[in-house]
Structure 1
Amino acid sequence: MAVDKELVLVTGASGFLGAHCVKALLDKGYRVRGTVRSLKNAHKVEPVRKLDPSGARLSLVEADLNKKDGWEKAVSGCDYVLHVASPFPLGGTQETIDTAIAGTKNVLEACAEEISVKKVVLTSSVAAISEGHRASKERIDESFWSLLEGAVAYVKSKTLAERAAWDYVNQKTHKNNFPLTTINPGFIIGPPLTDDKGSSVEVIMQMMSLPAVPRITFGCIDVRDVAKAHVEAMERPESNGMRVICAEADPHYMVELGKRLQREFASQGYSPAAKTLPDFIIKIGSLFSAQFSAIVGRLGHETRFDNTRLREVLHVQPNDSREALVDMVYELIDRGIIKKTTKYRPRKA
């Protein structure tokens, strides 16, 4: 079947990653159906519609992760499904966990009843792989699963939702026994296509204004690489049944990212964090702050990933995330999400 005849469902189409997945698919000639929670929310919906101004190859439908209703209609007639939608709060609660698991089951159950679906690609996270293994000297690969004792809600949500997905697909007792690939991204950065202030944007906004940052690392990845990985996984049957770590092999300390931002934006009237906050402040703060409590156990840990599958199976060579970060901040300023200074110099196209 020709690409321009194939229909791909992208859940969470208005989100940071979802919008990039929509764009990547449209750029390759696919027809796309995206889910949003409400078609009445113009702030979220209109930027996605602009990715296909003619409306010839993009349509949007309503579907809620917490409700079974709507998913059979959303999946109907689709050749592929990219299940990207999932809650990503900075902290998280039991509701975060319940929503991630329920949403995944609702989407997969609908796919299992729709014989047109050839494959599902699920967005998971390295949070489902590396938690509890940070002290390991070896590189973390896809054979690892996060250890959940004492883990924060977000880690539990991604791990339990992904396990639920594999358990469901591996039953192979459904009307449609489709193959599954999971993409497990690190901390996603890069230029947004919408004005949605997701958790990635919130973290970077804080970095642009805080005087110092904790001594923690991120395994980073450019959002454009993550979207490309989803499309490659969809198209490549050799990835069927695989988990794929989607992150740079080596982590970056927050202060390293802050120094890159300082080099780019200090002369433009901004003060990105380029100093490290002493550990003892985080430890004291953890007694009173849930946000500090969530990072106190990560101080100084450097998790290194084996991203061989990303490079050799999906043929995605990760961009330098420090440059993706610079692209991100320019876009946030141009969109008015970060306030422009009088010294701001827009990038030349």
Structure 2
Amino acid sequence: MKIDSVLVTGGSGFVAIHCIDQLLRAGYPVRTTVRSLKRVADIRAMLKAAGTPRQEALSFFEADLMQDKGWTEAVAGCRFVLHVASPFPASVPKHEDELILPAREGALRVLRAARDAGVQRVVQTSSFAAIGYGHKPQTAPFDETMWTNVDGAGVSAYAKSKTLAERAAWDFIAREGGELELSVVNPVGIFGPTFGPDYSTSILIVKKLLDGEVPACPRISFGVVDVRDVSDMHLRAMTNPAANGERFLVTAGEFISLLDVGTILKKNMGSMAKRVPSREIPDWIVRFLALFIADMKAISPELGIKKNASNEKAERILGWTPRSNEEAITASGTSLAQLGLLKGK
């Protein structure tokens, strides 16, 4: 029956492809949107690499976050929508609106279409970026009650885009959502196995470490979560009545440093990790390079800052249990190697 169909937006994305895989394995009819149907072959190839069953139960719709066209058809007959699509570039955009507008307007476009189609619940992929930035340093773990201060010093365009998009979604539900339900998932840095060349910016960090493109590690720390656990969380938030109206921060454990990531890769990947750095770069060098290099400028506000986050709510309400930091990071590197996506050794 079409009533239990699930729409996953942005089907070629790293999280979306894992959501599609898990939904098909769970027996759902699945739809997904792509900006161009030319991406269908790429998605099929990634699912084949993953050994995903029931690919005949997957259908494709062309729709863009910045245009109304296609969304009515994509959501028609769906019971659930996983709104995963949102821009997350590997480099700093020239203007923050390049990220903010597609994220915010896209979320509202999807929510309107879902409401008008009689969808029961939308699960929106937000981020820890909507929680843990623009604050004064704190030792207490961040949780779902907190919001990024978009006017705070050093808040990135990406963090602004995720915060404003999530705020807009909750405001929409409160003001004009009707019977539509909303649940939000807020992951930290997403690692884990990739099915192909479409992977997260977090995975790109692992690739650059393994490829020897990082001579020394900046003193930055971040949370880690496995993409398989992020996808599992989306399915739990989609079906559990207790998830309605709630946001869930998902992290595997304690935040770790970039040097810690390198240590894990060296421990578990042997000779493939021979190019991974074993030392940190002094903060003053990063700040100096930030004068000339946009990527360095983006990370310089986070140098030496220790943060942490709690997954207590996700575990308590939805019974979510994540893989470890080590397993998620190792799976990233292993899948990159298996798919031939690393530089020759």
Into which bin does the TM-score normalised by the smaller protein fall? over 0.9
**Which one has the bigger helix percentage?**
2
Matched-pair contact (CA < 8 Å) for 1:134–1:301: no
Counterpart in the other structure of 2:116: 113
Deviation, 1:199, is 1.6
Aligned partner of 2:303 among 295, 299, 302: 299
CA RMSD between the two structures: 1.8
CA distance in 1, matches of 2:169, 2:12: 23
Once the two structures are superposed, the pairs formed by residues 229-248 of structure 1 within 5 Å of their partners are 229-248=233-252
* Residue correspondence of structure 1 range 324-343 to structure 2 within 5 A: 324-341=328-345
Alignment of 1:90-101 (within 5 A): 90=90, 91-92=92-93, 93-101=96-104
Matched with 2:37 is 39
* 1:276 to 2:280 alignment: yes
Query: In 2, distance between residues paired with 1:41 and 1:226?
Result: 23
Match of 1:344 in 2: none
Structure 2 equivalent of residue 346 of structure 1 = none
For 2:121 and 2:136, locate their aligned partners in 1 and report how far apart those are by CA, in whole Å.
32
Counterparts of 2:100 and 2:222, CA distance in 1: 22
CA distance in 1, matches of 2:11, 2:192: 17
The answer (yes or no) to whether the contact 1:49–1:58 under 8 Å persists in 2 is no
Whether the 8 Å contact between 1:184 and 1:244 is mirrored in structure 2 is yes
Deviation sequence 1:101-155 (CA, Å, 0-9, x none): 111111001011011x110100000000000236112111111010112311101
Asked if 1:228 corresponds to 2:236, the answer is no
Deviation of 1:52 (Å)? 5.1
1:313 aligns with 2:311: no
Please report how far the alpha carbon of residue 340 of structure 1 lies from its aligned counterpart in structure 2 after TM superposition.
4.5
Q: Which amino acid aligns with 1:260?
A: I
In 2 relative to 1, CA 177–329 (structure 1 residues): closer, same or farther, beyond 3 Å?
A: same
Which residue matches 2:174?
Answer: 170
In 2, Cα distance between equivalents of 1:305 and 1:54: 37
Q: Alpha carbons of 1:122 and 1:112: their partners in 2 closer, same or farther (altered >3 Å)?
A: same
Contact 1:5 1:30 in 2 (8 A): no
State the distance in 2 between where 1:79 and 1:239 align: 16
Please give the per-residue CA displacement for 1:301-331, whole angstroms capped at 9, x wherever unaligned: 1211121111111211111122211111111
Correspondence for 2:207? 205
Deviation at 1:211, TM superposition (A): 2.1
Whole-angstrom distance in 1 between the partners of 2:122 and 2:314: 17
- Alignment check: 8 A CA contact 2:253 2:324 kept: no
- TM-score normalised per structure 2: 0.92
Q: Which residue of 2 aligns with 1:345?
A: none
Partner of 1:102: 105
Equivalent AA in structure 2 for residue 59 of structure 1: S
Query: Conserved in 2, the CA contact under 8 Å of 1:262 and 1:271?
Result: no
2:291 paired with 1:287: yes
Identity of aligned residues (%): 38
Q: Equivalents in 1 of 2:39, 2:5: separation in Å?
A: 24
List alignment gaps of at least 5 residues for structure 2.
none
Q: Which residue of 2 aligns with 1:63?
A: 63
Q: Which amino acid aligns with 2:221?
A: T
C-alpha offsets along residues 139-190 of structure 1, whole Å, 9 cap, x if unaligned?
Answer: 111110101123111010000000000000111x45x521101000000000
Aligned length: 336
Contact 1:333 / 1:339 at 8 angstroms: preserved in 2? no
Q: Which runs of 5+ in 1 are unaligned?
A: 342-349
SS where residue 122 of structure 1 aligns? Answer: strand
2:197 corresponds to: 195
Partner Cα separation in structure 2 for residue 26 and residue 166 of structure 1: 29
Structure 2 counterpart of 1:122: 124
- Tell me the amino acid that sits aligned with residue 35 of structure 1: T
Structure-2 separation of matches of 1:25 and 1:139:
32
Residue 85 of structure 1 deviates from its aligned partner by 0.4
Tell me if structure 1 keeps the 8 A contact 2:266–2:273.
Answer: no
Report the AA paired with residue 61 of structure 2: V
Q: For 1:178-234, what per-residue CA distance to the aligned partner results, in whole angstroms no more than 9, with x for missing partners?
A: 110100000000001232144223222112212211000011100000000000000
Task: Classify the secondary structure of the residue corresponding to 2:262.
Answer: helix
When residues 185 and 250 of structure 1 are mapped into structure 2, their CA distance, relative to the original with a 3 A threshold, is: same
**Native 8 Å contact 1:39 1:45 kept in 2:** no
Q: Which amino acid aligns with 2:79?
A: D
CA distance in 2, matches of 1:318, 1:136: 25
2:254 pairs with one of 225, 250, 256:
250
Following superposition of structure 1 onto structure 2, how do residues 139-150 of structure 1 map, counting pairs within 5 Å?
Answer: 139-149=141-151, 150=153
What secondary structure is seen at the aligned counterpart in 2 of 1:184?
strand
SS of equivalent residue, structure 2 residue 195? coil
Q: Classify the secondary structure of the residue corresponding to 1:56.
A: helix
Match of residue 85 from structure 1: 85
Aligned mates of 1:204, 1:35 — CA distance in 2: 28
Any idea what SS the aligned residue of 2:225 has?
strand
